[in-house]
Structure 1
Amino acid sequence: MTIDAASPAPPPGLRESKKQETRQLISDVATGLFLAQGFERTTIAEIAAAARVAKKTVTNYFPHKEDLALDHQDAFTASLAATVTGRQAGEPALAALRRAFADAAASADPVAGFSGPGFARMVADSPTLSARLRDLHDLREAALADALADATGTPRDDITPRTAAALLGAVHRTLFQRIQELTLAGQDTARISATVTTEADSAFGLLEPSLAAYAAG
């Protein structure tokens, strides 16, 4: 009888846990390097060396360099659509999104733009990241348009949900930029949260005449 001396394969749960640990390690190392020397000046090879993994391992987990910096991008692009899909019974989309933003501002949610001064400066100084962030805002708006179409039983290519999403997305884009602006101006999180909460009431209020009852759940 022969004995297989090879180590048994780890259970699926352990394998997934190790993958998540490796991914988080790479992300943390990359963020540290980006903050220290700038996004544009940091290479994938440097990140791999600092994380003690192969360069291919980095690109397997993060196909694009921007993915290493904007690691909340999936949550970001899905956030507005998820709010509409999960809104309360009878709650219009505007009310749901307004409430969700107030909650995000109160908790200083990074997805809403509360990234801290170092990260905000890194993005502002990087043409690549600034361009990618604009793309993410566009993707978030497109996902919101689909969610509004589904919520109202309207074809996804109909102009009404797309227009509503453009208006709602513009408010969120403006508030995100406002948070970044105040962060770069040196204001602390509590003051920023208070400021944008008040400004959000005014911004969302501008949409009430046209969208107050739209897409009521």
Structure 2
Amino acid sequence: MSEGLRERKKRETRQRISDIAMWLFVTNGFDNVTVAEVARAADVSVNTVFNYFSTKEDLLFDRQGEVEDLPSRVVRERRPRESALQALRRDFLDALDSRHHRYGFHEGSDAFTRMVAESPSLNARIREMNAAREQALARTLADETNADPDDLTPAFAAAQICAVLHRLMTHAVQRMLAGEDLNAIAPDLRRQAERGFELLESGIGDYCAGPRSAPE
């Protein structure tokens, strides 16, 4: 069914408010901008803003559901005979090479991260999103493998996969915040990603094994 005029206008209004809010937050700092200022810049009432967004944080995380569902969606849409890990590795490296925003490696992600770091409420929301992403992936892995409800394997796998993804993007953003260019970071980040996924693929059983003999 095609989108009606009313639905299209509502979607466009919501997107315009979100875009203006993002610009104000990044420019001035999240905690320094009020919902009233967003409404005024978007030429709508405060009530209209809250009709579309339940909280001020929702203005910034307009695509929260998509972000939380990303690894699960990649797994659900994986290629024939492709494992969940192979699908996620492929998708991450594709986003890295294309500079797509879905994993946060794109122009402007350093400014977004700096803004989040300066706001306790945004830090809390990010932690909630990361936890929700991991839980969603665990549920998807359980569904895709018909795992027993008491089987913790899907949760183990989801925790390790999400940890690698989170660490890769944290490393990249920290380097961007230090002033490094995206193109300078990308080759090393790809190597780091390959190593991270390799560890997930082969396991870490022999990683950091003790010395061959006891020290004298």
State the TM bucket, normalised to the shorter chain: 0.7 to 0.9
Q: How many residues align?
A: 201
Q: Tell me, what secondary structure is at the counterpart of 1:71?
A: coil
Structure 1 segments of 4+ aligned residues over 4 angstroms from their partners: none
- The equivalent position to 2:20 in structure 1, one of 19, 29, 42, is 29
In 2, Cα distance between equivalents of 1:78 and 1:191: 30
Distance 2:89 2:69 in 1: 16
User: For residue 148 of structure 2, what is the aligned residue in structure 1?
Assistant: 155
**Equivalent residue number for residue 134 of structure 2:** 141
- SS state of the match for residue 207, structure 1? helix
Return the TM-score normalized by structure 1.
Answer: 0.86
- RCO greater where, 1 or 2, for CA within 8 Å and sep 6 or more? 1
- 3-state SS of the aligned residue for 1:206? helix
> Separation in 1 of the partners of 2:8 and 2:144?
36
**Partner in structure 1 of residue 81 of structure 2:** 90
Once residues 185 and 98 of structure 2 are traced to their aligned partners in structure 1, the CA distance between those partners, rounded to angstroms, is 11
CA distance in 2, matches of 1:127, 1:81: 28
Query: Quick one: percent identity of the two aligned structures?
Result: 46
Please give the secondary structure, in 2, of the residue aligned with 1:191: helix
- Structure 2: give runs of 5+ residues left out of the alignment: 205-216
- How far 1:88 sits from its partner (Å)? 1.0
Counterpart amino acid of 2:153?
A: T
- Partner residue, 1:180: 173
The one of 30, 34, 38 aligned to 1:43: 34
Task: Work out the CA distance in 2 between the residues paired with 1:40 and 1:195.
Answer: 34
Displacement of 1:72 in angstroms is 2.9
Q: How does 1:1-217 map to 2 (within 5 A)?
A: 13-114=4-105, 116=108, 117-210=110-203
Deviations 1:90-146 (A, max 9, x none): 111111111111011112222201251322211122221122111111111111101
Cα RMSD (Å) of the superposition?
A: 1.8
Amino acid at match of 1:24: Q
Q: Bigger shift: 67-76 or 86-95? A: 67-76
**Structure 1 unaligned residues grouped into runs of 5+:** 1-10, 212-217
